[in-house]
Structure 1
């Protein structure tokens, strides 16, 4: 029987293992941590967002510059396929008002338990605390609880994650062995990252409050969604989609009233009492919540109550910040194995029989189900390509 080793037991790795096992290979999954899919379980604590239920071209556009590269993988495992896959594991799903898809249980643990049971039924062996250290000649080397171990499979799938949340396993250590083999890599950078903001003292009462019904702009990117104020800055889905532009230094602006035009705001403000203070106009005239009023005072360059000046500030308030939070705190990372290093089946051109999948590839996507969908699709694609190669050489 042919043998395959999958390194990394996150969603991409487990999906690749399943495809290889279904094709008849004897599959070993090696995971460095004491348990599998830690990042998936962490994501599921706040409601596991599986995918985004939307037309395929809309879904694809969320992957930005990597969209055309990922197109065949996502076409083979799109939002509908993800939902069918979850149902096949006994997990009913529902679609929220924004199109985000969740398991009814809202947690990752029931889905993961069912998935691991399926893999066990397919004969997949999972070894935890097996840390890959690179190659010893043609053999894969691992540090294990029983000492050093070598494996020489017919196919290898690397699904080792990016370089954020190292405590959950994605520490980017794999760049060393791949660099040693001359594999082209793109430097890591934070994606879906929070912002550092040096707030003044008057913002302290608003820590933990959400900025809702707002629209954010950085460079050519615009995102409508909320963000939370914290002692360290701003975080939330509304901002995460702008990370590519913010990484490049694009200024950040927020529209605090995106459903009103600038002229409509001017007209409303002009109809208020001329002697009313800025705070009174914002609170009583526009019914802004305290957190938005505080943000105007914190960030606006003028205290003018002139209707035009105030309307402009409300529609394009500049957010002064100190940059992105450190990469290890980011939800995901950009960078990784360069596209040019891989063939159409995600096999490394310079290492025949070695495939890569998931977040270790050089692509990124915003939160909202796109990350998990991309990882599952790439893992499935690599697993099938590896299985096809094994079958062709049999």
Structure 2
């Protein structure tokens, strides 16, 4: 997006890409539905971000700006569930990417592929091209080097060492929007891949309603991704309300009216995976006690052992902190070098918030370079 704005204002822009084609990570975002942004009200939207700096950028380039840009390059959008913004149903992720690349080429952009950045200073950037180092002069150098997730797309995070060697402040990468590793009993893991719908999850001071998916290692799903930050803050005790729409009294009443607890759980439509977990955790006398069982249904405890590895994560936190950047996202030590996207240290859950912030940070840089 930085290059787009600069080209629109008449600047000469060359894109250097280490892979053989552009937008590998962009296309990964299209797996399972290309959720480009979200149309929930702006205060709630901005609360999804953990840094005021990234909120400011999203205010400056919001979902309306993104939708207008997509429409300009021939990509109409629609609003799906929970306010999520998608390309129209007949449009594939590769179509969005190709439309954007075609627009950039019409504006005069130059693209060079197979170019890996290995060094830079205040005036020059060194690229590794087919095994040979080439040095290029620049007026402004905009870096979008990514985080450390989905390394097969080129986002390895190895640039962190280059920055550290130059004395630039960096933060080690950690997984974000990753599954929770929880020691589930075999009876629960037998339901691998099955959803646990309509539950409320609590971790530390955070809570999230939604749907979980059982895995061999624990749980994944939107509530899990949302609560990643709370886990990184040191919270490990996950509580799950299996019937957030029911009061404790109503749950107990249904259990008492049923001929046995198992039938009561069926009437409450508790997910089979949770029924297996409840039976595993409770002693017989606890399971038969309708009051105890009802309370357990409202506060099912799990212990989170870890997040899944960085390379399995949807995104990462870490990278260049805002304390190392000027307001225009240039490096304090190299004022002609700019950072944007996932290489900066910020966090957001899935649901369109990650991509919107990446677009917005690029637009911020593009608007700041005069």
Report the TM-score range of the alignment, normalised by the length of the smaller protein. Answer: over 0.9
Distance 1:139 1:299 in 2: 62
Partner of 1:323: 306
- 1:102 equivalent among 86, 89, 98: 86
Partner of 2:3: 17
Unaligned runs of 5+ in 2: none
> Does residue 197 of structure 1 match 2:179?
no
Q: How does 1:106-121 map to 2 (within 5 A)?
A: 107-121=92-106
3-state DSSP of counterpart to 1:320: strand
Distance 2:46 2:121 in 1: 39
Deviates more, 1:294-303 or 1:339-348: 294-303
> Does residue 93 of structure 1 match 2:74?
no
**Is the contact between residue 53 and residue 100 of structure 1 (CA under 8 Å) also seen in structure 2?**
yes
Partner of 1:186: 171
- 1:266 equivalent among 252, 260, 263: 252
Distance 2:45 2:304 in 1: 30
> Does residue 237 of structure 1 match 2:222?
yes
3-state DSSP of counterpart to 1:44: coil
RMSD: 1.7
Shift of 1:160: 0.5
| C-alpha distance after superposition, 1:332-387 (max 9, x if no partner) | 0111101111111111111011110001111010000000000000011112212x
Distance 1:192 1:299 in 2: 28
3-state DSSP of counterpart to 1:206: coil
**Is the contact between residue 44 and residue 108 of structure 1 (CA under 8 Å) also seen in structure 2?**
yes
> Does residue 46 of structure 1 match 2:32?
yes
Q: How does 1:288-307 map to 2 (within 5 A)?
A: 288-299=270-281, 303-307=286-290
**Is the contact between residue 203 and residue 239 of structure 2 (CA under 8 Å) also seen in structure 1?**
yes
Distance 1:146 1:249 in 2: 44
3-state DSSP of counterpart to 2:224: helix
Partner of 1:209: 194
**Is the contact between residue 49 and residue 102 of structure 1 (CA under 8 Å) also seen in structure 2?**
yes
Distance 2:282 2:161 in 1: 46
> Does residue 286 of structure 1 match 2:268?
yes
Change (3 A) 1:110 1:144: same
Partner of 2:241: 255
Partner of 1:149: 134
**Is the contact between residue 157 and residue 356 of structure 1 (CA under 8 Å) also seen in structure 2?**
yes
Shift of 1:322: 2.6
**Is the contact between residue 140 and residue 151 of structure 1 (CA under 8 Å) also seen in structure 2?**
yes
Q: How does 1:75-94 map to 2 (within 5 A)?
A: 75-94=59-78
Q: Normalising by the residue count of structure 2, what TM-score does the alignment of the two structures yield? A: 0.94
Distance 1:26 1:299 in 2: 64
**Is the contact between residue 174 and residue 317 of structure 2 (CA under 8 Å) also seen in structure 1?**
yes
**Is the contact between residue 227 and residue 234 of structure 1 (CA under 8 Å) also seen in structure 2?**
yes
Partner of 2:55: 71
Distance 1:186 1:165 in 2: 19
Change (3 A) 1:134 1:270: same
Q: Normalising by the residue count of structure 1, what TM-score does the alignment of the two structures yield? A: 0.89
Distance 1:176 1:37 in 2: 24
- 1:58 equivalent among 35, 41, 44: 44
Unaligned runs of 5+ in 1: 1-14, 389-394
Task: Kindly tell me the number of residue pairs found equivalent between the two proteins.
Answer: 367
